[in-house]
Amino acid sequence: MKVCLAGAGAFGTKHLDSIAKIDGVEAVSLVGRDLDKTREVAKRYGISHVTTDLAESLARPDIDAVILCTPTQLHAAQVKACLLAGKHVQVEIPMADSTADAEELVRLQKQTGLVAMAGHTRRFNPSHQWIRNRILAGELKIQQMDVQTYFFRRSNMNAAGGPRTWTDHLLWHHACHTVDLFQYQTGETAAHAHALQGPMHPELGIAMDMAIQMKVPSGVICTLSLSFNNDGPIGTFFRYICDNGTYIASYDDLFDGKGNKIDVSKVDVSMNGIELQDREFFAAIREGREPNSSFAKVLPAYQTLGRLELALAESD
């Protein structure tokens, strides 16, 4: 299977590392904004074709699938271009930054019949898989999820410490992870969703702090705190308060409520959530099936995000 990767930045290289570990899959085309920098990345990974134009890669008949790690604001249009070109597509979170665009992409996927998957990595992290397996086995029931998503990003920098050409967003990017995970783990869509945000950054034009509350019909609640102002440990930390224990998930690692590490190494074939996400994408293509985190399966998260966006507008 031959793959094009668009977005040769900090996150794109994580996918290239994962592709290198998956048999029968080869990255053959790399799309980036800066041609010289993109060539440097392509050389490291042995990728022969380099371009700054996604359309050039989509025109290649040998490419079966595309992974998009591009700026959020480009996702919806680029996904549409991939599907219309007959390519299977995985797009990093979020698949779109509006509910209307997300719903349109679901319609287009159904029309084309191609595999279309959003990069909701939390569904694949071994830590969250361990929780889900116990829920499905009837061994756990969530009472509350308490989540902190904290970064120190007062200037427009990416995960590798380099300057960004686009602006990140707490709601449509970072909250998207938790909104989807909460609804995925509970198996329900939020019946109540409320949000508040702090002052806008004078230059970036985005809220630097945000608080979100959700409740599903069964009564389970979620509290999410997000900040770009946190000068301390960064990342996202999930506390599952359950009827049978408390568990804290940090990406691929899991601890109980007393800080004891839980062995999740046997949950899946890898301890790397990005690799597991990519394995699911390529397996779904090979097997002709709908993947976990398909556009249709994650759409409820984007519909809830739309409601939260309205709540923020009303609160301001």
pTM higher than 0.85: yes
Query: Rounded to whole angstroms, how far apart are CA atoms 212 and 201?
Result: 19
3-state SS assignment for residue 233: coil
The per-residue pLDDT for 201 is: 87
Domains of the chain: 2-120+274-292 (3.40.50.720), 122-269+301-315 (3.30.360.10)
- Please give the single-letter amino acid code of residue 243: D
Q: Which residue has the higher pLDDT, 237 or 162?
A: 237
Beta bridge partners of 193: 214
Q: How confident is the model at residue 232 (pLDDT cuts 50, 70, 90)?
A: confident
Q: Does position 110 have pLDDT exceeding 90, yes or no? A: yes
**CA–CA separation, 84 vs 107, rounded Å?**
12
What SS3 class is residue 66? strand
Beta strands in 56-190 (DSSP E): 65-68, 88-92, 116-119, 142-150
- Strand, coil or helix: what is 287? helix
Going from the C-alpha of 144 to that of each of 66, 221, 238, 249, the distances in angstroms are 37, 5, 10, 14
pLDDT in tens, 73-84: 999 999 999 999
Are residues 141 and 244 in contact, defined by beta-carbon separation less than 8 angstroms? yes
Instruction: Give the pLDDT of residue 40.
Output: 97
Cβ atoms 78, 70 nearer than 8 A: yes
Q: What is the predicted pLDDT for the residue at 169?
A: 84
